[in-house]
Amino acid sequence: MTFDGWSVIDFPPPAGSLSQAPQACVYVFCWKTDKGPVPFYVGESGRLAKRICDDYRTKYFTAPTDFCVGEAAAHLISKGHQLVVFYRASSDRRPDRRKEERALIRSLQLEGRRLLNCFPRYCYQASVGREQEERTAVLEFMNALVP
């Protein structure tokens, strides 16, 4: 997949760097390599700046997607990888953004990409007290993705 026409920002982004970005977007988290960006998560949001700047950095265990993506990103950074997020404007209507997100996921999977989107999320209510176990599972998944 090429990201021609997409905007890109480093992750974690500098303060205020998404202030001019559209709020309704689809986005793709990638780590950078000599051969180009390698996608590992596709998302959509009606509040892009808060999603990227807050949710994935705080990675609260009570929000399974935020936790998994945030832990994956922090793990890759700790291993010395530079992360970027490609994003582009999408519909203000969530069903339309979700459809676009699913199409991106499918396209990347057809290219042979393994994505964190397909990693089973835990149910927070059933996982109380198992934060370290869930963190370890996410890190093991990411270790299998990154050579």
Q: Residue type at 87?
A: Y
- Estimate the share of the chain in helix, then strand, then coil, as percent rounded to the nearest 5: 45, 20, 35
Tokens of 135: 């963190």
Architecture of domain 7-145: 3-Layer(aba) Sandwich (3.40)
The separation between CA 132 and the C-alpha centre of its own chain, rounded to angstroms, equals: 20
Residue 1's pLDDT is 85
Per-residue pLDDT band for 147 (boundaries 50, 70, 90) equals confident
For the stretch 40-69, pLDDT in tens is 999 999 999 999 999 999 999 999 999 999
What is the residue extent of each domain of the chain? 7-145
User: pTM of the entire structure?
Assistant: 0.95
The span from the CA of 100 to the CA of 89, in Å, is 11
